[in-house]
Amino acid sequence: MQPIFRFAPSPNGELHLGHAFSALASYALCRQMGGRFLLRIEDIDIGRTRPEFEAAIFRDLAWLGLTWEEPVRRQSENMTAYRAALDRLAGERLIYPAFMTRGEIAAATSTPDWPRDPDGAPVYPPHDRLLSTEDVSRRVAAGEPHTLRLISDDAIAQAGILSWHEEGRGPEGESGTVTGHPEAWGDFVVARKDIPTSYHLAVVVDDADQSITHVVRGQDLFHATSAHVLLQRLLGLPTPVYHHHRLITDAVGRKLSKSDRDTSLRALRENGATPADVRAMVGLQQDVRAD
C-alpha cells in the first residue's frame, strides 16, 4: 500500500517556522517512502478562519517547494461526514449534551485538586450526566446552547486497551508501541456549540476518509493522539502511524505562536530569507530527520 501523508494547518493566522518544520519534515518522510502528500485546510473554527490566511498557506508552502494533490480538502465542506460520525456515537449512547458555560465550569472546578486535561483545562464536571432525560430533552428542544461530549468511561470500557505506533517521540521520549491514556481528557468535546464537530472528531474522520497512513505533527499534539485513537476504535476506523516531532521554539524556549510576527514565513521572505535559509533555521538540512 502506498503511504499517504498530510499537512493539516488551520487558516487562523500566518504560518511560522514551526509550521515550516512540520510541513517540510512530513514532506521529506513522504518522499523517502515514495508516498502521496495531501494538504488539508482545518477551517472548522469559523470565527477565526480567514480566506487570506488560506491563500497565504498555499503561497508559503509553494514557496518552500512543496507540492500536494488537488483538490485540497476543507473541513468546512465536510460537515456531513462529521454528523454521520456523531450519529454513530449517539446510536451507541456514548455522547451527551453538555450545557455548562465557561463560567459555570470554572466555578465547579475551582478546587486546587480538580483534575486537568493534558492541555491544562479542567476535566468536565459530571453535572450534565446526572440530569434527567426529560430535563435534557426540554433544554435541547428550547434551543439552549450546548456542546456534545463523550461519555469517556463508557467509551474507554467499550474500546479496550488502546495503542499506536510512534515513529517519532512524545514529550517524555515515548516511542515504539505507545499505550494511550484517553482518560486524561475526561469527557472531551466531540461537537462544539456552533458546529457539528470538534478538532478531535474532525481530524479522526478526515484522516480515515483521506486514507492517511502517516501523521507527522508536533509533540504538542502527542497527548491528543490518545483521544484520536479512542475515537478511531469507537468509529471502526484504522489508526495511522504517528510521528510526533520536536517543537521549534523562540530564543527563550517558548513554542512559537501565530502572533509572533517575526517568525512568520511571509516576514522572513520579505526580509530576504530563502527556503534554504528556512530549512537551516529549523535544523533541517538536505538529509532530513524529523525527530
Q: Which residues bind ligand GLU (CB under 6 A)?
A: 8-10, 42, 203, 217, 221
Please report how close the Cβ of residue 72 comes to ligand GLU at its closest, in angstroms: 14
Alpha carbon distance 136, 147 (integer Å): 12
The one-letter amino acid code at 112 reads P
Please report how close the Cβ of residue 216 comes to ligand GLU at its closest, in angstroms: 8
Alpha carbon distance 67, 98 (integer Å): 42
Which residue, 73 or 217, is less far from ligand GLU as judged by CB?
A: 217
Which residue, 214 or 217, is less far from ligand GLU as judged by CB?
A: 217
Instruction: Please report which helix (H) or strand (E) contains residue 60, including its range.
Output: helix 51-64
Give whole-number Cα distances, 178 to 163, 204, 215, 272, in Å.
Answer: 5, 18, 15, 42
Q: Which of 245, 250, 270, 275 is nearest to 260 (CA)?
A: 250
Q: Say if strands 36-41 and 189-191 run parallel, antiparallel, or are unpaired.
A: unpaired
Which residue, 119 or 277, is less far from ligand GLU as judged by CB?
A: 119
Q: Are 149 and 187 in contact (CB under 8 A)?
A: yes
Which residue, 10 or 213, is less far from ligand GLU as judged by CB?
A: 10
Instruction: Please report which helix (H) or strand (E) contains residue 156, including its range.
Output: helix 152-159
Please report how close the Cβ of residue 222 comes to ligand GLU at its closest, in angstroms: 11
The one-letter amino acid code at 239 reads T
Which residue, 43 or 128, is less far from ligand GLU as judged by CB?
A: 43
Please report how close the Cβ of residue 4 comes to ligand GLU at its closest, in angstroms: 14
